Amino acid sequence: MRRDVNRWNFVLVSVVVSFALGCLGFWQYGRLHGHAYTVWDICYLSWQLFPLQSGAQPGTIPLSLEIARVIAPITTASALIGVSYGYLRELRRGERLSAIRNHVVVCGLGRRGIQLAEECVAMGKRVVAIDAHSNTKSLPIVESGHVLLVTGDATHLETLRRAGVHRAESLLALCGDDGTNIAIAMRARDLLAAASEHARPKRLRCVVQVMDFTFAALFKEHGVVQDTAGTLDVALFNSYEAAARMLWRDRPLDYEPIGENDPRSVRLVVFGLGQMGESVVVQAAKVCHLANGKRLRVTIIDRAADARMRSLLVRYPRIDNVCDIECIEMECDDRITVNRLDEIVEIKDELTTIVVCLDNDSQNVQYAISLRRNLTSDAVPVHVRVTSDTGLSNLFRGAGDSRNIFCFGSTGSTCTWEMANGEGLDALARAIHEDYVAHQRERGAKPGDSTVEWDKLAPGLRDSNRQQADHLPVKLRALGYSVRHAHEVPGAVRVPEDRIETLARMEHHRWNAERFLAGWTLGDKDVARRRSPYLVPYDELPDAVKQYDRDTVRNMPRLVELAKRTAGRGNSA
């Protein structure tokens, strides 16, 4: 694209120069040879230089006209070559688009789209990008020819057809608007339904970026997502949720051992309850279920804490069944805030973690550094959200451990092929499900919704496997293993019989949290209405139900072995 602009700029300048020199030359030629040229005559003759119609004049030719007679034909030739080259290039691009198969279609060449497109190219995948903005033609990855660009609206069937979506292996909807991404998924389903059988892929993986939690919850219930037997395998992608899962996987809240009789509870202090802050709180509520049974305590500091908390309760109305949340409505950089935070940090028998996730990277970093300088305790870890892998995040590299400040949530770590396709964080969850299906088949159990392959599993059941996988390291730490990830356990795991009940209680607390956060309530069993009679404390469960939790923790050695096998697929730090 840049070369095209330069070429046409050269042609435009050449036209202006040639025409001006031609006008000057014919005016001088007329005076020299006694021709009374009018202004229109001079302009006409000058234009005629370009198709080689007026340059052959008898007698002495002025220098300006000589130059114009040379430049004008060169300009015409350059324009013709440029048009021909552009036509042939478009023809070739069309041929490549019509022939491409088993490729990746990326909709939206924003920051995330470009990063994923570049990663796919590096992996040797063929990539077609769709973007409505013509200036994306100048992107290096497009100019180099590594990515074929289709300019148009990705929510239109014809645009998706031109990009060969019906022949692709994956479709990534990464536009900046959630509604656009959802519409792309729906149009892709329509396109696959209309495609001929020989042109339709076996199953198209469709990753849909939905950043708004309300939209995500609604879309999960839509037929496009729920239809796990169709030709479209829809997976929702939210970089906030991915960042939160990675944060508590790599930097756990129980960073010091908490045993069964430990009097300490965990406190999470979150500055900024935006989308990132909400993801951090919800993921903590999912995984922070410890051996001593103490509930997670959350303190939210935000200038609009009460309003944002009400918004959180709309999406998770039963989160207060899982953890205790306190809202402090004040400016995050206020001295009073620091004093209040000092009081929290100094509370006896609490293990505190601070997360700073305001809306601006610079603001986050400045505030994290200010906290570190002003807090009386250096032992409390401070996690700061920085979206870029370069620049501000470099301030803490190498010095992060000593200053106890850690960056998380960068686009480079959360918006990758592994994360978007669930090959990273979901590797263990997938392995757990596959192991469960194999075990059920060995027992001769009848096929059901929970025993299908992972790609056809209902979204809610996938989430259940994810949460079980995320909590496994917490149980291992309760057994005394000093690990952040399950695959780091040396040798085989042994679960002493006298610890079974404690671990089973932890598993039930985790299961309760999973159900409460998914909108379940206590009542007679009714899956359709999300009711369960087992949303009670562990000690109130029938022994037969307790046995399910005991069996789960007795299977921990098997799950750790699965974690070690899948460590290379994304579970490593």
Per-residue DSSP letters for 190-203?
A: HHHHHS-TTTS-S-
Taking the CA atoms of 453, 455, 459 and 465 in sequence, report the sign of the dihedral they define. Answer: positive
Distance CA 175, CA 190 (A): 19
**420 domain residue, yes or no:** no
Same-domain status, 190 and 266: no
Residue 72 lies in domain = 2-90
Specify the pLDDT at position 229.
62
| Type of residue numbered 530 | R
What's the pLDDT tens digit per position in 317-336? 999 999 999 999 887 767 77
Contacts of 521 (CB under 8 A, 6+ apart): 318, 530, 531, 532, 535
314, two tokens = 């709309």
Are residue 299 and residue 333 in the same domain, yes or no?
Answer: yes
The single-letter DSSP state of residue 390 is S
CB 73 within 8 A of CB 29: no
| Residue 322 falls inside a structural domain | yes
pLDDT tens string 286-315: 999 999 999 999 999 999 999 999 999 999
Residue 504 CA, distance from chain mean position: 34
Provide the greatest CA pair distance for the chain. Answer: 118
Kindly report, residue by residue over 69-127, the tens digit of the pLDDT: 888 888 888 888 878 777 776 667 666 777 788 999 999 998 889 999 999 999 999 99
Question: What pLDDT score was predicted for residue 2?
Answer: 53
In terms of Cα–Cα distance, which of 425, 367, 357 is closest to 387? 357
For residues 170 and 281, membership in a common domain is answered with no
pLDDT recorded at residue 97: 77
**CA–CA dist 422, 176 (Å, integer):** 21
pLDDT tops 60 at residue 571:
no
Identify which of 252, 190, 264 has the alpha carbon closest to the alpha carbon of residue 223: 190
Structure tokens at 259: 């045993």
Q: Is residue 490 located within the same domain as residue 472?
A: yes
Q: What is the predicted pLDDT for the residue at 542?
A: 95
Sign, Cα dihedral of 156, 159, 164, 170: negative
Helix (H) / strand (E) element for 325: namely: strand 323-329
Q: H or E segment at 339?
A: helix 335-345
**384 and 512 within one domain:** no
Residues 64 and 165 in one domain: no
Q: What is the CATH number of the domain that holds 369?
A: 3.40.50.720
Q: Which of 43, 58, 90 is at the close of a domain?
A: 90
Average pLDDT, the chain: 86
Q: Are residues 396 and 498 in the same domain?
A: no
The C-alpha atoms of residue 441 and residue 446 are separated, in whole angstroms, by 8
Tell me whether residue 215 is in a domain.
yes
Does residue 358 fall inside a structural domain?
yes
Q: Pick the closest to residue 411 from 83, 48, 105, 113 (CA basis).
A: 113
The set of residues, in sequence order, having a beta carbon less than 8 Å from that of 460 and lying 6+ positions away, is 220, 518
The one-character DSSP state at 177 is: -
Which of 202, 220, 237 is where one domain is finished?
A: 237
Structure tokens belonging to residue 461: 């059941």
DSSP three-state, residue 409: coil
Are 199 and 50 found together in one domain?
no
Whether residues 48 and 183 share a domain: the answer is: no
Residue-wise pLDDT tens digits, 530-565: 999 999 999 999 999 999 999 999 999 998 988 888
Reported for 478-481, long-range contacts at CB under 8 A and 24+ positions apart, including other chains, are: 478/258, 478/259, 478/260, 478/290, 478/291, 478/502, 478/503, 478/506, 479/503, 480/257
**Per-residue pLDDT tens over the stretch 393-446:** 666 655 444 478 999 998 888 888 888 877 677 888 888 898 888 888 887 777
In the chain, count H helices and then E strands.
Answer: 22, 14
Nearest Cα residue to 243 out of 251, 234, 254: 251
| Contact yes or no for 247/280 (Cβ under 8 A) | yes
439 within a domain of the structure (yes/no): no
Of the residues 211, 237, 263, the one at which a domain ends: 237
Rounded to the nearest 10 degrees, what angle do helices 178-194 and 213-220 cross at?
20
Residue 410 and residue 344 share a domain: yes
Both tokens of 215, joined, read 């939209």
Shared domain check, 115 and 74: no
Contact 118, 141 (CB under 8 A): yes
Q: For residue range 434-474, list pLDDT tens digits in order.
A: 888 888 888 777 778 788 888 778 888 888 999 999 999 99
Tally of structural domains, the chain? 4
Whole-angstrom distance between the N-terminal and C-terminal Cα of the chain?
Answer: 40
pLDDT at 136 over 70: yes
Nearest to 50 by CA among 32, 70, 68, 76: 76
Q: What digits encode the pLDDT tens for the residues 10-38?
A: 888 888 998 898 898 888 888 888 888 88
Sheet holding 204-209, edge to edge: 147-151, 127-131, 104-107, 170-173, 204-209, 232-237
Q: Residue 256: helix, strand or coil by DSSP?
A: coil
**Tokens of residue 518, six digits:** 């998914």
Instruction: For residue 195, name the pLDDT band (cuts at 50, 70, 90).
Output: confident
Q: Residue 290 has what pLDDT?
A: 96
Place of tokens 């490549």: 96
Flag whether pLDDT at 5 surpasses 80: no
Q: Is residue 427 part of a domain?
A: no
| 572: pLDDT strictly greater than 50 | no
Q: Please compute, for residue 313, the number of CA atoms within 13 A of its CA located in the half-sphere on the CB side.
A: 13
Phi, psi of 479 (to 5 degrees): -80, -5
What's CA 384's distance to the chain center, in Å?
Answer: 18
In a domain, 122, yes or no: yes
Radius of gyration of the chain (CA): 32
Structure-token pair, residue 344? 């929290």
354 lies in the same domain as 488: no
CA 313 to chain centre: 24
**Is position 425 within any domain?**
no
**Res 573: pLDDT:** 37
Spatial distance between the Cα atoms of 225 and 157, rounded to a whole number of angstroms: 19
